[in-house]
Amino acid sequence: MQDKIVLSSSPSDAVAVGPALLGFQPSESVVVVGLCGRRVAFCGRVDLADAQACTRDVLVAMRNSGADAVELVGYSQRPEWAALVLDGLARGPFDGAVIRQHITDGATAWRCDRGELLDSEPFTPSLPQPERTRADTVAAVTAPRHPADAHTVEARTAGASHNQRQRLLSAAMDSNELHPDDAADAAALLDGRDGLAAAVASIVRDPHKAYRNLLVMRQHCTDAHLPGVLALLTLASWAAGHGPAVVEALTQLDALTPGSRTVAMLSELTCSNPADWLRDNTTV
């Protein structure tokens, strides 16, 4: 996360930052906000229940971002327990780096110190808060597939010239409402350097639109084209700030291509791992 946000010491302001950066409402979670000065350089999430065991990747990603201090924010319906978890993190893996700790149960926000809840106030966020949950984001990447017939897709795309292929792919990636047939055809055109370059250019130009259209491609592409779509969906999810979708797309890709260099490269780029690698959702 490279957005420049100046953090306030107000508990409400502090706990509003996590959802604003993650793009969803965390629950029973610790959000780690890495700071470089007063600029937000990194934002990661771990489950409260697994916080001690799941911080390795967060620490690596935080260091790679250049962050030199962290703020820990807990989101839980059991704030007293969450305060103890944050204190354990502050004294353990993040020892010496934590400058602030805050917690909210959705209605009240607190400052924390040494496992104690302090300075309570009504939670009145100063930043726009997303309505969707983490489950909503994951559901978009786990929607049932309805793959197109491979022979039909081949018949529609085999005779296309290079220029036609580029136009078709660009139109699909930039579409406001991608039709399932067009999605399946576009997925078939992703193979090769030119197709990949066109898709990446679309992701850079408008990551949110590319993300939405790649979700449609994932649902309707043939089985043979699914790995390529998932790789690009991982990239688009990361560029659009949909952390849970990154992990889910990587997990599906790893299941199809176990141990592949593509999975390793995307994992390194996004600072995320397939869920099966650690049996958790470490960084989002």
Q: What is the pLDDT along the chain (284 residues), one digit of tens a residue?
A: 444 444 555 788 888 888 888 878 888 999 998 888 878 888 888 888 888 776 777 777 777 778 889 999 999 999 999 999 999 999 988 888 899 999 999 999 999 999 999 999 998 877 777 777 788 888 999 999 999 999 999 999 988 888 888 899 999 999 999 999 999 999 999 987 888 899 999 999 999 999 999 999 999 999 999 999 999 999 999 888 888 899 899 999 999 999 899 999 998 888 777 765 443 333 44
Q: Enumerate the β-bridge partners of residue 60.
A: none
What's the whole-model pTM score? 0.70
Query: If DSSP codes are grouped into helix, strand and coil, which group holds residue 79?
Result: helix
pLDDT at site 283? 40
For residues 267 and 271, what is the distance between their CA atoms, to the nearest angstrom? Answer: 6
Residues of the chain with CATH 3.40.140: 11-123
For residues 115 and 111, what is the distance between their CA atoms, to the nearest angstrom? Answer: 10
pLDDT at site 7? 53
For residues 161 and 166, what is the distance between their CA atoms, to the nearest angstrom? Answer: 9
pLDDT at site 276? 53
pLDDT at site 143? 95
Contact call for residues 25 and 127 (beta carbons, < 8 A): no
pLDDT at site 107? 93
> Phi then psi for 154, rounded to 5 degrees?
-60, -40
For residues 46 and 50, what is the distance between their CA atoms, to the nearest angstrom? Answer: 7
Q: Virtual CA dihedral for 41, 45, 48, 50, nearest 10 degrees?
A: -110
CATH 3.40.140 is right for the domain spanning 11-123: yes
pLDDT at site 252? 96
pLDDT at site 216? 98
For residues 150 and 188, what is the distance between their CA atoms, to the nearest angstrom? Answer: 9
Query: If DSSP codes are grouped into helix, strand and coil, which group holds residue 70?
Result: strand
27 burial level (CB within 10 Å; 0-12, 13-18, 19+): middle
Q: How many Cβ atoms are within 10 Å of 168's Cβ, its own excluded?
A: 19
